[in-house]
Amino acid sequence: MRALLHRLSAALPGQCALCHAWPTRPICPACTARFAQPRPRCDLCALPLPAGVARCGACIKDPPPLDQCLAVVAYAYPWSGLIARYKFGPSPGWSAALARLMRDGPGVAAALDAADLLLPLPLSTQRLRERGFNQALELARQLTPGKTRADLLLRLRDTPAQSSLPLERRLRNVQDAFGLAAGAERALRGRRLVLVDDVMTSGATLHAAARLLRTAGADHVTGLVLARTE
């Protein structure tokens, strides 16, 4: 019933959450054009770059364990507030609108089409109980439901929110935080994977998961997030 209500609400016109125009989509085309303009980003960490530059100096010097990293918007006004409302509201009904915004980002549709599997970053049992849903899983299901697998990559322990920690602690915070389900290597070996999350800060969480998937034999790992801190 809840899934049916979400589909109905997504199909019906409503008010734009940003400019309050009505009737329109949850994020109207005018606000999308104003606040979600594509911008050049580093292929491997998704930080903004000047036009014509593919990779930042940090990624050239020390490449991360991702083959590609895609971010659609900056984690700033108005997206930071909207994402917080989505996660902590909680408002899982926003999944379809935010996934649509993600799919329209540069390179995203191609990455999804090329992927064998989408793996949402898992939440700990404690965090899932607090929120009531995993936003990464809901976004992945909206992006490509037939390719989404939430049973392969596991969260082994709860960790403080990455945004609350300095960089050096973020790296330690996610060390050994992830694991694989029994037999997951067979499903991952030689596959092209897309790791999905809502927000990327330092990249430590995505990198920790990507290293584990590399160890399991994944052939290609893309990180895909809605928003990137800059």
77 Cβ neighbours under 8 A, 6+ residues apart: none
Q: What is the DSSP string of 96-120?
A: HHHHHHHHTSTTHHHHHHH-SEEEE
Global pTM?
0.88
Contact 86, 69 (CB under 8 A): no
Domain range enclosing 136: 38-228
Beta carbons within 10 angstroms of residue 110's beta carbon: 11
Cα–Cα distance for residue pair 134/92, rounded to 1 Å:
9
pLDDT band of 125, cuts 50, 70, 90: confident
Query: How many structural domains comprise the chain?
Result: 2
Co-location of 21 and 47 in the same domain: no
Tell whether the model's pLDDT for residue 19 goes beyond 70.
yes
77-99 average pLDDT score: 93
Co-location of 180 and 102 in the same domain: yes
Co-location of 44 and 22 in the same domain: no
Co-location of 136 and 174 in the same domain: yes
- For tokens 């973020």, the residue is 170
